[in-house]
Structure 1
Amino acid sequence: MSTTPTRRLTVAQALVRFLSVQYTERDGVRHRLIAGTWGIFGHGNVAGLGQALLEAGEDAMPFHQGRNEQSMVHAAVGYARQLNRLSTQAVTTSIGPGATNLVTGAALATINRLPVLLLPGDYFATRTADPLLQQLEHPVEADLSVNDTLRPVSRYFDRVTRPEALIPSALNAVRVLTDPVETGAVTLSLPQDVQAEAYDWPEEFFAERVWHVRRPAPDPYELAEAVRAIRAAERPLIVAGGGIHHSQAEDALKALVDATGIPVASTQAGKGSLRYDHPADLGGIGHTGTAVSDDLARTADLIIGVGTRYTDFTTASNTLFQNPGVRFVNLNIAAFDAHKLAARTLVCDARAGLTALTEALSGHRVNSVYEAEYGAGKARWEQVVDTAFSAADENAVPTQTQVLGALDSVVGDDDVIINAAGSLPGDLHKLWRARSPRQYHLEYGYSCMGYEIPAGIGVQQAAPDTPVWSLVGDGTYLMMPTEIVTAVQEGLPVNLVLIQNHGYASIGGLSESVGGERFGTPYRYRAADGTFTGAPLPVDLAANAASLGMDVLRAKTVAELRTALATARESDRPTCVYVETDTDSTAQAAPPAAAWWDVPVAETATRESAVRAREEYDRQVADRCRHL
C-alpha cells in the first residue's frame, strides 16, 4: 500500500492550486508564472474552474473578469510582453463560441513567441450527455471538438480526459510556457465533467516549483566564425529584433555598439533596443523603416541579425539587402530562425551572445568614414521626423503624424505606447523616438486589429505606476472596445488615443497603390452608384467610449490635442483622447516607404489603375533575390 500523502480535490481545484505555485527564475530573480486568471463563465467551466477559482481565493489566484474571450488573451499577452515573458496569465472560457473565440488571440501569442495559458471547457469525456449544447458532431471523428481549432495555433495542446492525466499535461504545459524557444499559446482542453471530478492527488504535485529560464552560451566554433565575419566586413549592420527585449539584452547590445561602432536598425519588435538618440541607432528597417536604415541595408556587406525572424516587412520581401556580396550572421536562441537567409549561425541567448561578441571583438571598430556616413544619414532623418511632428498652425486640425508629435512632446521616458494595426504601425516605426526598452509596444507579428485596448490593460496590470497609451484608429476601435469596461471596473488608468479617419486608412492606401482604388475601405454611406463613396457615417466614437465608462477629452486642434494628452497622462482614471485627423490629400503626411513590400497585383485587368500598378509591381519584383 502506498504511503504517499494525497489531497482530495477536483481536477479544476488541483489545476488552480498547481498553477498558483509555479515560478520562473532568471539571473537570480524569481517571478510568479501565472499571475492571475481571466475568465468568462458558461456551462463548460462555471462549475469546474469557476468554482475552483472561487474556492482558491484572490491570494492564491487573482481573477479578472473579461468581456470578450479574444481580448482576454490579448490582455494576458500584453502582460507577458511587459514582463519579458517571465510571467503571464491564464484564460478560461466555456465550451463552444467561448473556446473558438480564443483562436485569434492564440495565433497572436504563438506568432510573437509570447506565453499564455488557455483553459477552455470541452464536451463530456464520458459522453453521457451527447450531443451536448454547442457540440460539433463529426460523422467519423467522435473525439473531435471545436477546441481542436486551437491545435495549429498552440505550442502545446492536450485534452485532459481523465483526472490523473492532468499531472503530466500540466507539467508539460509549464515546461513550454517557460521555454524561451518553444513558448507561445499553451492549451489545456478541459471536459466539463472531468473538471468537476474528484481525485486523490499526490501532495508533491502541489509543491512549489521554480523553472529556470536558461541563457545558453554561444558555441565556441560558431562564435569564432561570427567574429571572423564581422572583422572582415567593411559595412556591417545589426538588425535588432524582439529577442533582444525578451532576453533583456539592451545593455549588452549598447556595449557591443559602443565598442565597435556597428550601426543598428530595428524591426517592429526590436525598436527601443537602443535609445533613439544613441549615435548608432538608425530607427526602423524594411518597408516601414527609415530612409537611412534602408539605404545602409542596400549596401551592407554583412547583416548581423539578433533575435529577429526576418519577416517580409523587415526584408522588404527579400528586395532590401542588395549588395552582391552580402552575408548574414544570425544570433538567435531558436535554431529555426538562426538558419534563415543561409546565415552563419550563433544559436544562443541574445545577452550571452552579444556579451561574448563584445569580448571577442576587443579592439575592432568600423571605419570612421562609415561612422560619419551613417551619422549624417541619421541627422538628416531626424530633420524628417521634426518636420512630420511639427505643426505650422497650432489651431489647425492635426494630421496623424502631428498626433504622434503631440504625444511625443507629452510622454515620459518610461511611458508605454501600444499599437498593432492600421496605418499607425508604419508611422510609428519610421518616426517614433523610443526612449526606453519597453516604451515601444508594437504587436506586428500578427498585426491584430483590436489588440491595443486589452493589451493596454495587461501592460497596466504588469506596470501599475507606468502611463500606458493605447493608440487606435476608428477601424480598430470598432473591432474590440469591450475591455474598456474592464479597465473602468479594475480602476486601471489606461489612456486611449482614438483617431477618427473614417475608414480602413492603411488598407485604403495599400488598395490605391495596387490598383484597388480604395474599394470597400472608407466608412461612408453608399452613393447613388452603390459604392461606399457617400458622406461619412455619423458615428460618435467618443460618445461610445464615454458610455462604456471612460473619461473623454475631445480635441479639434493641435493645441487642444497637446493639452488633452497632458491632462490624460495625469489622470488616475481610464481616459480617452478623441481626435479627428486631417485626411485631405494635401495634408502633411508621413514620409513615403523607403523599401518595397510584395502584395501581388492583378496580372491582367481592364481598369487603368490596376494596369499601372502591375507595371510598377513588375519593376519592383525584379529586385528580389534569394540569399543562398
Structure 2
Amino acid sequence: MKGAEAIIKALKKEDVEHVFGYPGGAVIDLYDAIHEDDDLKHILTRHEQGAAHAADGYARVTGKAGVCIATSGPGATNLVTGIATAHMDSVPVVALTGQVPVEMIGNDAFQEADTTGITIPITKHNQLLKESKNILSTIKKSFHIAETGRNGPVLIDIPKDLQSEDIDFDYPKDISLPGYNPTFRPHELQIKKAVDAIMEARRPVIYAGGGVIASNASKELRELSETIMAPVTTTLLAKGCYNEESDLCLGMLGMHGTKEANYAITESDLIIAVGARFDDRVTGKIEGFAPNAKIVHIDIDPAEIGKNVKTHIPIVGDAKKALNKLIKRINRKKIKKENTEWHNKIKRWKKEKSESLKSEGKRIKPQFVVKKISEKTPDDTILATEVGQCQMWAAHYYKFKKPRTFLTSGGLGTMGYGLPASIGAQIAAPDKKVWNIAGDGSIQMNIQEIATAVKFNLPINIAILNNNYLGMVRQWQELFFDERYSQTHLGENPDFSKIAEGFGAKGMVVEKDSEVEEAIDIANSTDKPVLIDFKVKKEENVYPMVPSGSTLTEMLERKDIKGD
C-alpha cells in the first residue's frame, strides 16, 4: 500500500480514533488516505495551533496520545506553540508534519522549514524520515515514547514523496529502544526511608503535581492522605487529583496559592512531593521554601529530583506504584494520625478568608461568575481555561473533585489554549459538559475555533471574563510599575456575542449579578456552542499574590493594597 495509507492504518493500530489537523500540499497524500478511510475521524480546525491544543486537550482527558497533523513550512511552525505547551506540561501528543520531498530537503524549496531542528528543544523526541521503510517502526516508537515514562510530545516529519511510495504493511508488535528505559518501580530502600520519615513526622504535607494525574494515582493519593492525616496541596496542573471539598485539601500553593497552602508548606516538617517539579511559581524564593521540612520527592523523571530544591529522600518511579508501596508499608497502628494543634492551625488559616463576591452595584466580580459555574455544573464537568487572571480565578473559585477535569497551560502559560483544548476535550468526552473560562485578551488568540465547535456540533460553553484589559499584566503594572498601563488596555472590545453568532454559535451578554445564574443555566441546556460575555470589574486583582523574589509567606492580600 501507499505510505500515506500505511500511516493511517498504523494510527488505528495504536487505537487512535480522532486526529486534529489542517491540510496542505506536503500532506495531500495523507489527507487523500484519510478521505478513503471511514473509521478514523478527522477534526478540521481553523488554525494549526488550534489542532495542537485540541490534541493536547484530548490527551489530558483520555490519558492517550492526542494526534495532530500539519503541512510543511508554516503549517508545521504554527504547531510549535502547541507542541511547546504540551512539552512543558508533560502531555502525550504525536504530531505528524509534512515535508518537501527528500531530494529537495536543504534547497529552500517552497514551504520548506527545518521542522525537526526547530522542535528539538520542545519535543521528547522527533525524527525526520528519509526512507519509507522506516515509517511504521517510527510511528510505533513515537507512541511508545510519548505515552511512557514522563509523557511528552513526539514529532514525525514525513517528506511528501515517502507518502506516495509503495510499502509492505508489517506493523511491529514490539519496539526495541535500548537507550530509553524509564524507571517505573521505585527502589525498596528509598520507600523504607520515606515510610520512616512519615512515621516520625508531626506536620506532614503532601504536595501533589501533574504526575499524579498522568499516572492515574488519585485514589492512592487520597488513601495516603487519609491514612496519615496529611493535608494535600496541589499545583495548578494537579487540580482535580484530590477532592477540593475535603477538609484535608489546602488548594493550590505558590505565587497565587491559598494562604493555608503556603503557610502549611512553610511550617511543615515533612513534604511528600508526588509528580511535581518544584518550579519557581510554586517555591517562591528558594532560600525560604519549607525551611524546616525533610523532603521526600517521588518522580518518574530523575532529572527533576534535586534540580530546584534539595531532596532528602529521592524516589524515582511511577507515582501510582510508589504511593501503593508507601501505603502498604505504613504501620497504621503506630502512625501519628492526628496532630490537633497542626490541624487546628490549618483550620484557622482557612477561616481567615473573607471576601464579598457581590458587585455592589458595579460591574460583576469575575470570582462570582466562576463560583456560580462551579455550583451549577456536574462534578465531572471538564473545565478548560485560557491564561492570566481568568486562569487563577478558575483555579481558586471552581471546586474540582475529579481528575482529568481541568485543562490549562501551566508551564508555558499559553494564551489561546483554552478554546481549542475544550474542543479536544468535548471530542474525547462527548457525554460530559465542557466549559472554557476565558479572558477577553486570550479568547481573541484562537477565537476562530468557534467555527470548529459549530461544524462538529460540540456544545462547549465559553465564559469570557471581559474587563477590557490584559488583566494579569495590568495587575503587575498597577502593583509594581506605578499604574503605568503600557499596552494592556484593550479599549472597547468587539461584540463577542455577535462574533459567536456569526460563527453559528449562541451569544449572550451579562452585565448584572442577577443575570449570571440564568445565563449559566441556558448554556448548560443548549445543544450547541454558547459564548457568554460577562462584563466584569475592570481593575479586579488576583489575590493572594507572592511578588517575585519573596517567600511564600510574604503574600500580598487584598487588605494590603491601597485603593483597591
Asked whether the equivalents of residues 118 and 187 of structure 1 are also in contact (C-alpha less than 8 Å), the reply is yes
Deviation at 1:590, TM superposition (A): 4.5
1:269 counterpart residue number: 237
Deviation of residue 128 (structure 1)?
Answer: 9.5
1:168 aligned partner, one-letter code = S
Cα shift at 1:430: 3.3
Q: Within 5 A, what are the aligned runs for 1:337-486? A: 337-340=304-307, 341-343=309-311, 344-363=313-332, 364-377=335-348, 379-380=350-351, 383-384=353-354, 387-388=355-356, 390-391=357-358, 397-486=363-452
Shift of 1:591: 3.3
Selected match of 1:571 from 516, 520, 526: 526
Q: 1:42 to 1:441 in 2, by over 3 A?
A: closer
Distance 1:546 1:574 in 2: 10
Q: How do residues 548-567 of structure 1 correspond to structure 2 at under 5 angstroms?
A: 548-567=503-522
Judged with a 3 Å threshold, the aligned counterparts in structure 2 of structure 1 residues 158 and 376 are, in CA distance, closer, same or farther, namely: same
Range with bigger deviation, 102-111 or 126-135: 126-135
Matching of residue 155 in structure 1 with residue 155 in structure 2 = no
Q: Does 1:597 align with 2:564?
A: no
User: Is contact 1:545-1:552 (8 Å) kept?
Assistant: yes
- The alignment of Structure 1 onto Structure 2 pairs a total of residues equal to 543
Q: Determine the structure 1 residue equivalent to 2:25.
A: 43
Distance 2:213 2:105 in 1: 49
Structure with larger Rg: 1
Following TM superposition, by how much is the alpha carbon of 1:130 offset from its aligned partner in structure 2, in angstroms?
5.0
Select the residue among 244, 248, 251 that pairs with 2:219.
Answer: 251
Aligned to 2:33: 52
CA spacing shift, 1:507–1:126, aligned 2, 3 Å: same
The separation in 1 between residues aligned to 2:349 and 2:424, in whole angstroms, is: 34
Q: CA deviation at 1:470?
A: 0.5
2:398 and 2:457 map into 1 onto residues whose CA distance is 29
- Name the CA distance, whole Å, in 2 between partners of 1:551 and 1:224: 57
2:3 pairs with 1:20:
no
Letter in 2 for 1:304: I
**1:248 Cα offset (Å):** 1.6
Q: List aligned pairs for 1:177-196, cutoff 5 A.
A: 177-181=146-150, 183-196=151-164
CA-CA distance at 1:440 after TM superposition: 3.0
Q: CA RMSD in A?
A: 2.5
Deviation at 1:215, TM superposition (A): 9.1
Partner of 1:608: none
Task: Give deviations 1:46-90, integer Å, cap 9, x for gaps.
Answer: 1x21112122x131x21111110011010011010011x2x2332
Distance 1:232 1:473 in 2: 46
The 8 Å contact of residues 420 and 444 in structure 1, kept in 2 or not, is answered as no
Query: 1: CA distance between counterparts of 2:493 and 2:184?
Result: 57
List per-residue Cα deviations over 1:146-178 (Å, max 9, x = no partner).
Answer: 452122211111111111122332232122122
Q: Counterpart amino acid of 1:283?
A: G
3-state SS, counterpart of residue 539 of structure 1: coil
Structure 1 206/571 Cα, relative in aligned 2: closer, same or farther at 3 Å?
farther
Report the Cα offset of residue 540 of structure 1. Answer: 1.6
Equivalents in 1 of 2:223, 2:407: separation in Å?
A: 23
Counterparts of 2:18 and 2:285, CA distance in 1: 40
1:207 to partner: Cα distance? 6.5
Deviations 1:384-435 (A, max 9, x none): 3xx35x4275x75311111112212212211111114111222233333222
SS at structure 2 position matched to 1:511: helix
- Separation (CA, whole Å) in 2 of partners of 1:63 and 1:379: 47
Deviations 1:485-539 (A, max 9, x none): 1110000100000121112110111123332734433335xxxxxxxxxxx3352
Q: Deviations over 1:295-323 (max 9, x none)?
A: 11111122110110111111124255243
Closer/same/farther in 2, CA of residues 319 and 503 from structure 1, 3 Å limit: farther
Q: Deviations over 1:428-447 (max 9, x none)?
A: 33333222223333321211
1:105 equivalenced with 2:78 (yes/no): no
Cα separation, 2, equivalents of 1:485 and 1:119: 23
Indicate conservation of the 8 Å contact 1:38/1:66, yes or no: yes
Unaligned regions of 5+ residues in structure 1, if any? 1-8, 23-31, 137-144, 525-535, 600-615, 617-628
Matched with 2:141 is 172
**Structure 1 residues 598 and 193, CA, compared in 2 at 3 Å: closer, same or farther?**
farther
Name the SS of the counterpart of 1:346 in structure 2: strand
Show the 5 A alignment for 1:217-256.
Answer: 217-256=185-224
Name the amino acid aligned to 1:316: G
Helix, strand or coil for the counterpart of 1:58? coil
Identity, in percent, stands at 25
Residues 91 and 441 of structure 1: CA distance in aligned 2, closer, same or farther (over 3 Å): closer
Output the CA distance in 2 between the equivalents of 1:127 and 1:186. 24
Is 2:308 the counterpart of 1:330? no
Given that 1:416 and 1:439 are in contact with CA atoms closer than 8 Å, whether structure 2 keeps it comes out as yes
Distance 2:105 2:203 in 1: 69
2 CA distance for matches of 1:250 and 1:317? 29
Matched, 1:116 2:93: yes
What's 1:613 paired with? none
In structure 2, runs of 5+ residues without a counterpart are 551-555, 557-564
TM-score (norm 1): 0.82
Residues 164-206 of structure 1: per-residue CA shift (max 9 Å, x gap): 122332232122122132x31111101112221223x1x4327
2-structure distance, mates of 1:315, 1:582: 30
After TM superposition, the structure 1 = structure 2 runs for residues 270-309 of structure 1, keeping only pairs within 5 Å, are 270-309=238-277
Contact 1:91-1:117 at 8 Å conserved across structures: yes
Q: Which amino acid aligns with 1:495?
A: N
Using the TM superposition, give the Cα deviation of residue 234 of structure 1 relative to its aligned residue in structure 2, in angstroms.
2.2
Contact 2:386 2:436 survives alignment (8 Å): no
Verify: 1:125 aligned to 2:125, yes or no: no
1:396–1:558 CA contact under 8 A, matched in 2? no
Alpha-carbon distance, 1:101 to partner: 0.5
Q: SS state of the match for residue 205, structure 1?
A: coil
Q: Structure 1 residues 448, 507: CA separation in 2 closer, same or farther (over 3 Å shift)?
A: same
